[in-house]
Amino acid sequence: MAENMVREPLSGIDILIAGGGLAGLTAAIECHRKGHNVRVVERRPGLDPFGDLIAIQTSALCTMRKWPGFVSQLYENQFGPDIHMYKFDGTLIGVFPSLGDYDPSTGDRAVALSRVELHQALHNYATSLGISVEHGIYVEDYSETPDKGCAILADGTKLEADLVIAADGVGGKGWGIVSGKKDQPISSGYAIYRTTFPLEYALKDPLLAKVYESDSSHGAAYIGSNTHIVTGKNKNIDDGNATEDWSKTQSSDSALEHVKNWSPFVPALINAVPNKEVVDWKLMWRNPQPKWISPMGRIAQIGDAAHSLLPTSGSGATMAMEDSFTLAACLHISGRHGIPLAVQVYNKLRFERVSCAQKMGFKTRENWHNTDWDAVSKNPQLVGKIIGNWLAKHDSEKYAYDNYAACAKHIIDGTPFY
């Protein structure tokens, strides 16, 4: 599998990635493939044993297909190729590709799977390539010189590299050096009740058992006034021992208040939650910021550290992966002596696309929470197709190679670039 990866000649670029989540590990693998030397540091003591459904759109699969064996592994562990969309009362709206797109020309379709499994797969793939991934290392701040980026640890230790990639999430520390201010993310005004639990609890209810016993990977979404629920089932064993230590827990009874008069399936599923315990996860947000790089070009943000997306965008993980593919390609083109220009090109190539994806998160939420049911009855795609072709049919790696020179010229002398 990973040992069959074709790697570009060594670039001589040393990269330190602060953050071993989905963005950081994707960047590590792709930067390694491009010939860069990579080290990852992560503040958590180990891999997160929690998380729920996450979607990877087809645009992220273009480059991942160059990682031998990886995409097939994702499909093996997916929740299912389709999602059943329902009106809150249980009326079926339609069956759609799993929270994303299907490309019949390539056979690629969006993949919905457990965040835990995706994180584990990325970690295993990275370490099998020989990439150093170190846990329990907390980056407190960043600094730079004209030649080096620096991650400053909580104990004062400084880790230097030709480029430091800040992949440390929505609450990351990179904004201080990038924007000159350490503003905190704000609430989007919405929250999610999240949980994952063994199937046996759901099978105790005859209504739920009727659905889950007959469908090995049932995915469904119910949408109603100011509320929606997305649920899925996969084939992997959960012993029920994982703990949700990342956020505040609350009684699942709180969720029942939002689904009164809904299809009986929905409250039945909520009532099946073990110990009535769910995670109350606040959706944090930063308004789009056009600058993701430090003044000297030695620190670059990717993923949620640069741009948070609402889950209703269906593209949070995908945008982080596209960031990684773009940045790795730009560095491959520039070489070690052109890093400051390379990160400017990366930032320019990504900002507008990501900002539009961010806006789609709000648009989809509006469509789902304030639905025109007469319009949906005539055109179910209004709620079923949340990923447009402009998002799905894009190859960020190819786009970087095709547009690097023109974008660099724009940055250097102001030549128009669109």
Q: What residue numbers bound the domain in which 132 lies?
A: 2-75+108-187+285-413
Query: Residue 251: which H helix or E strand, with range?
Result: strand 248-251
* Same domain membership, residue 294 and residue 248: no
140, 173 contact by CB (below 8 A): yes
Residue 156 lies in a domain: yes
Which H or E run contains 207? helix 206-212
Q: State the helix-helix crossing angle for 316-334 and 339-369, rounded to 10 degrees.
A: 170
Domain end: 241, 256, 284, which one?
284
SS3 117: helix
pLDDT band at 241 (very low <50, low <70, confident <90, very high): very low
Are 156 and 218 found together in one domain?
no
9/117 same-domain check: yes
The reported pLDDT for the residue numbered 285 is: 73
User: Using 50, 70 and 90 to split pLDDT, how confident is the model at 244?
Assistant: very low
The radius of gyration of the chain from alpha carbons, rounded to an integer in Å, stands at 22
The enclosing domain of 55 has a CATH number of 3.50.50.60
Listed residue (304, 390, 408) closest to 346, CA to CA: 408
Both tokens of residue 162?
A: 């030709």
Taking alpha carbons only, the member of 170, 175, 167 closest to residue 122 is: 167
| Domain shared by 293 and 275, yes or no | no
Name the 3-class secondary structure at 130: coil
Tell whether 90 is covered by a domain.
no
Q: Are strands 37-42 and 14-18 parallel, antiparallel or unpaired?
A: parallel
94 within a domain of the structure (yes/no) = no
Which of 93-107, 108-122, 179-193, 273-287 shows the lowest per-residue confidence on average (mean pLDDT)? 93-107
Query: What is the number of structural domains in the chain?
Result: 2
Kindly state whether residues 157 and 234 are assigned to the same domain: no
pLDDT at position 240 is 47
For the stretch 121-168, pLDDT in tens is: 999 999 999 999 999 999 999 999 999 999 999 999 999 999 999 999
Lookup: tokens for 315 = 């593209």
- pLDDT per residue as tens digits for the range 361-383: 888 888 899 999 999 999 999 88
Q: 358 with 230, same domain? A: no
Phi first, then psi: what are they for 36, rounded to 5°? -85, 155
Strand, coil or helix: 199: helix
CA distance 165 to 40: 9
Q: Which of 140-154, 247-261, 279-293 is predicted most confidently?
A: 140-154
For 21-46, letters b (16+ CB in 10 Å) and e give bbbbbbbbbbbbbbbbbbbbbbbeee
Higher pLDDT, 67 or 314: 67
**Residue type at position 361:** G
Q: What is the mean pLDDT of the chain?
A: 90
List Cβ neighbours of 402 (8 Å cut-off, separation of 6 or more): none
Of 194, 286, 298, 365, the catalytic one is 194
Long-range (24+ apart) CB contacts under 8 A made by 5-8 are 5/33, 5/66, 5/67, 5/68, 5/129, 6/33, 6/66, 7/32, 7/33, 7/34, 7/35, 8/33, 8/34, 8/35, 8/332
Percentage of the residues of the chain whose pLDDT score is greater than 90:
65
Interatomic CA distance for residues 162 and 149, integer angstroms: 6
Is there a single domain that holds both residue 45 and residue 132? yes
Quote the CA–CA distance of 55 and 20 in Å, as a whole number: 19
Residues 343 and 328 in one domain: yes
Please give the Cα distance from 180 to 199 (Å, whole number). 48
Same domain, 392 and 317: yes
- Whether residues 246 and 387 fall in one domain: no
In the chain, the amino acid numbered 233 is K
Same domain, residue pair 266 and 392: no
Highest mean pLDDT among 281-285, 304-308, 364-368: 304-308
Whether 194 sits among the annotated catalytic residues: the reply is yes
Q: What distance, in Å, lies between the first and last C-alpha atoms of the chain? A: 39
270 falls within a domain: yes
User: What is the per-residue pLDDT for 20?
Assistant: 97
* Cross-strand bridge partners of residue 223: 87, 228
Same domain (yes/no): 52, 181: yes
Residue with the two structure tokens 């009106």: 87
Average pLDDT over residues 273-282: 88
Does a structural domain hold residue 314?
yes
Q: What is the pTM of this model?
A: 0.92
User: Does residue 230 sit within a domain?
Assistant: yes
Q: Which of 262, 284, 306 is the last residue of a domain?
A: 284
Give residue 110's Cα distance to chain centre. Answer: 13
Residue 265 pLDDT grade (very low, low, confident, very high; cuts 50, 70, 90): very high
Please compute the mean of the pLDDT values over residues 172-198 and round it to a whole number: 83
Contact between residue 122 and residue 60 where contact means Cβ atoms under 8 Å apart: no
Higher pLDDT, 42 or 215: 42
Rounded CA separation 214/272 (Å): 18
| Tokens representing residue 114 in the block | 């457990």
Whether residue 96 lies inside any domain: the answer is no
Picking from 267, 284, 301, the residue at the C-terminal end of a domain is 284
Residue 85 forms part of a structural domain = no
Q: How far apart are CA 144 and CA 164, in angstroms?
A: 9
